[in-house]
Amino acid sequence: MQDAFADQSASMDESLMVNIKEIDHQHQLLFNLIHLLEKSEQSSSNKDLTEGIVDALIDYSFTHFLTEERYMDRFEFPDADFHKKQHSRYRETVMDFKEKIKNGDDVSLDNVVVFLKRWWVNHIQINDMELGVFLNMAGAI
Ligand SMILES: [Fe+2]
Ligand SMILES: [Fe+2]
């Protein structure tokens, strides 16, 4: 599953397209932010820059979840509760990362980046894909 993320240009692999324009666009932006975080980690030890990217990533992922959850509610997606729970769990995990980074705790950014890539690829390929298929069948594009 990691392979879907291998492209350093940050463009999304076909296997990550859920076929709902707004959602695919937001996923692309999220991946761009993850690549930025990865680069900032490799190129400098600038804590402010890293914190800024982490903040942007958190804000934008929350916006993205609201978008998906609005689609779920509007089209009465039957698996909404489970999917929303996945989003909440992610929220808790990244807020925990943020706190640790802010407090100067010994957080391995490497591990954060690995977690983010894995989480997004898995979540999109399994949960968001299921949502995309449902929404397409319900007439959303
Ligand atoms: Fe999702
Ligand atoms: Fe998503």
- Residue 5 located in a structural domain: no
CATH code (residue 104): 1.20.120.50
Amino acid at 103: N
Is 91 a member of any domain? yes
pTM, full prediction: 0.88
Q: State the ligand closest to the CA atom of 77.
A: 1
Q: What pLDDT digit, counting tens, does each position of 90-123 carry? A: 999 999 988 988 888 888 888 899 999 999 999 9
The average confidence (pLDDT) of the chain is: 89
Question: Distance from the CA of 43 to the center of ligand 1, in angstroms?
Answer: 31
107 in a domain, yes or no? yes
C-alpha atoms less than 13 angstroms from C-alpha of 138 in its C-beta half-sphere: 16
Q: Which residues surround ligand 2, an ion (CB under 5 A)?
A: 128
Domain count for the chain? 1
What is the 13 CA–ligand 2 centroid distance (Å)? 14
How many A from CA of 97 to the centre of ligand 2? 20
- What's the pLDDT tens digit per position in 59-99? 999 999 999 999 999 999 999 999 999 999 999 999 998 89
Q: Count CA within 13 A, CB hemisphere, residue 69.
A: 14
Domain that holds residue 123: 16-137
